[in-house]
Every structure is written in C-alpha cells, then in structure tokens.
Amino acid sequence: MQKPIIDVIIPAFNEEGSVGKVIEDIPKDLVRYIIVANNNSTDQTAKVANEAGAIVVDQPISGYGNACLKGMEYIAGQNIKPDIIVFLDGDYSDYPDQLGDVVRPIIENQVDLVIGSRATGVMEKGAMMPQQIFGNWLATSLIKLIYGYEFTDLGPFRAIRYDKLMEIDMQDKTFGWTVEMQVKAAKLKYKCVEVPVKYRVRIGVSKVSGTIKGTILAGHKILWTIFKLI
C-alpha cells in the first residue's frame, strides 16, 4: 500500500509555551504538513510555531472552529490533497507521538473517522475538570440515543479521511466543532472507531474549562449542535 499523505492542523490561541513542544513531538516521518492556525494570539505563538518548523496561517477571528477551518483552507489550496487530516490541540495536553496509533485504523482498516478517546486511555489527574467529564458523558450519551453511534469522548485528537472531511462540510466556528464532526459522521453512517490516548494537564490556562463562562458557553453550544443537526 502506498504511504498515505497526512497533514496535521493545530488550532492555537496564545500557546507560545506549548505549541513548540507539540510540533516537536509529532512523528515527522508520518506527516507532510504541520499547520498551526494562529487564532488571534497576542503572544509569540506564531513565531514559536514557525521556528519549530510548522506552516503558520493566521485566523484573526476568534473561535476554535474558525481556526480549524483556516487550516483546512490552506490545505484546499494545495495541488496535491492529503489522504488524512489529523487535528490536535496546541496546549500539549495530547501526546502527539501517538499520531501513528490514531491514524492506523484509517490506513489498515479503511475507517473514516478515528477519535482519540481520553475516557478509555490514561488521563493524568486534573487533566480534565469534572464539568468536562460530565459534559462529554452527556454529549456522547445523546449521540448514542439519537444517532445510534457509540462514542466515549469528544476529544480534540482525531483523524479523518480528507474526502470524508470535505463531504461533511464543517460549519461550526466555535466550541461545537468536535461534536459537529461526530454527529455528521454518525448521520452519514461513516465507519468510526476510537483509540485510547493519553492525556495530561495542559500548559497554561484553558480558554474553555478555565472559566465558568467558558464552560457554560461550550456546554450550551455542544448540546445545541447535537439537537440542531437532527
């Protein structure tokens, strides 16, 4: 089998202390482009990412989904499209060296979407707040109830076939990005699996779970997205 072309998208907002570590730990023999979508950072995120060897694209409009869409826009402009897109966060909470594990089901078993599950992996104490764990449980329970697909996590570390990513036509610009992808994959009957991934306490303060407002907004958006797509 021909070696697949894999591109990585890292949305990043004020991650100067961590994004370089993320890029450094990505297995370079597996990927073509590492794209950091600099999401209106006010620190040196872009400079650090560039010096670490990533392609930096600027997205001045805030929002996790906006950053991911900007990374996809860069890839869409390339003459040769990838076979697989990997998404992971820029805060070093994921273990980028597990990228091979995350893409393996697509390469070997023709899976469409792979979610790196923190719920079934090894999670460092304090890496997820109780409200995040409950929110993940509630969202994945609703997806199972409504769409008949069983997930354990809405984890950011994930891989998807590029043609399938284009087919689901991602629209969410903020906190609903991960759940939109999973709900649409379920509606379209994609072959989805999870692989256990390790998860650690992030570097810096979370923009979502680090504040009450962020937690409430994220939770509302996730639930709204699930029901909107029915």
The whole-number mean pLDDT for each consecutive block of 10 residues of the chain, a chain of 230 residues, reads 91 97 98 98 98 98 97 98 98 98 97 97 92 89 95 97 98 93 96 98 71 67 84
- Per residue in 142-155, is it b (16+ CB within 10 Å) or e — as a string? bbeeebebebbbbb
What is the C-alpha to C-alpha distance for residues 38 and 62, in angstroms, rounded to an integer?
A: 10
**Comparing C-alpha atoms, which of 85, 58, 64 is closest to residue 178?**
64
Contact 175, 217 (CB under 8 A): yes
Report pLDDT for 211: 54
| pLDDT at residue 230, as a whole number | 76
pLDDT of residue 24: 98
pLDDT in the model for residue 204:
80
Rounded Cα distance between 190 and 160, Å, is 10
DSSP 3-state of 34: strand
Q: What global pTM score does this model have?
A: 0.93
Question: What is the distance, to the nearest Å, from the Cα of residue 67 to the centroid of all Cα atoms in its chain?
Answer: 11
Distance CA 161, CA 194 (A): 14
Q: Do 121 and 49 meet the contact criterion of CB atoms below 8 Å apart?
A: no
The reported pLDDT for the residue numbered 214 is 60
Residue-by-residue DSSP string for the chain:
-PPPPEEEEEEESS-TTTHHHHHHHS-TTT-S-EEEEE-S-SSSHHHHHHHTT-EEEE--S--HHHHHHHHHHHHHTSSS--SEEEE--SSS-S-GGGHHHHHHHHHHH--SEEEEESSSS-B-TTSS-HHHHHHHHHHHHHHHHHH----S---S-EEEEHHHHHHHT----STTHHHHHHHHHHHTT--EEEEE--B-PPSS--SSTTSHHHHHHHHHHHHHHHHHT-
CATH annotation of 6-228: 3.90.550.10
Let me know the angle formed at the C-alpha of 33 by 29 and 35, rounded to the nearest 5 degrees.
130
Amino acid residing at 30: L
The CB-side HSE value for 10 (13 A sphere, CA atoms) comes to 35
pLDDT of residue 223: 84
Predicted pLDDT of residue 213: 63
